[in-house]
Amino acid sequence: MKGFDLLEWIYGLLFNLYEEIWFRLYYGPVFHRFLNHTYRYYKQLPASSKLKFLRLVRDHYEYFKWQPRNGMQLTRGRKAIISAAASQLALHLPKECFTFYTSILVYPDYYTSFHTHKVHKGEVNPGFRLIVFSWRGIDEGLEPGDDGLNLLLHEFGHALWLENKLMQHEYKVFDPLLVERFEKQAAEEMIRMKDNEEHFFRRYAFTGMEEFFAVAVENLFERPGKFKSEVPEIFDTLTRMFGQVPPNPARLAGRRRI
> What are the domain boundaries of the chain?
63-251
Which of 38, 40, 9 has the alpha carbon at shortest distance from 222?
A: 40
Rounded to whole angstroms, the Cα distance separating 253 from 105 reads 29
- Please give the CATH architecture assigned to the domain spanning 63-251: 3-Layer(aba) Sandwich (3.40)
Q: Which residues contact 128 (CB under 8 A, 6 or more apart)?
A: 103
Residue 147's pLDDT band, with cuts at 50, 70 and 90, is confident
Phi-psi category of 174—alpha, beta or left, where left has phi over 0 and alpha has psi -120 to 50? beta
Instruction: For residues 175-195, give the mean pLDDT.
Output: 90
- 3-state helix, strand and coil shares in percent for the chain, rounded to the nearest 5: 60, 10, 30
Q: Greatest CA span in the chain, whole angstroms?
A: 70
Q: Which tens digits make up the pLDDT trace of 62-118?
A: 999 999 999 999 999 999 999 999 999 999 999 999 999 999 999 999 999 888 888
Residue 172's pLDDT band, with cuts at 50, 70 and 90, is very high
- Give yes or no for a contact between 107 and 99, defined as CB atoms under 8 angstroms apart: no
DSSP label at residue 65: E
Q: Select the more confidently predicted residue: 21 or 136.
A: 136
Q: Judge residue 142's burial from the number of C-beta atoms within 10 Å of its C-beta, 0-12 exposed, 13-18 middle, 19 or more buried.
A: buried
DSSP H stretches of helix in 44-200: 47-63, 76-90, 135-142, 151-166, 176-193
Mean pLDDT of the residues in the chain = 88
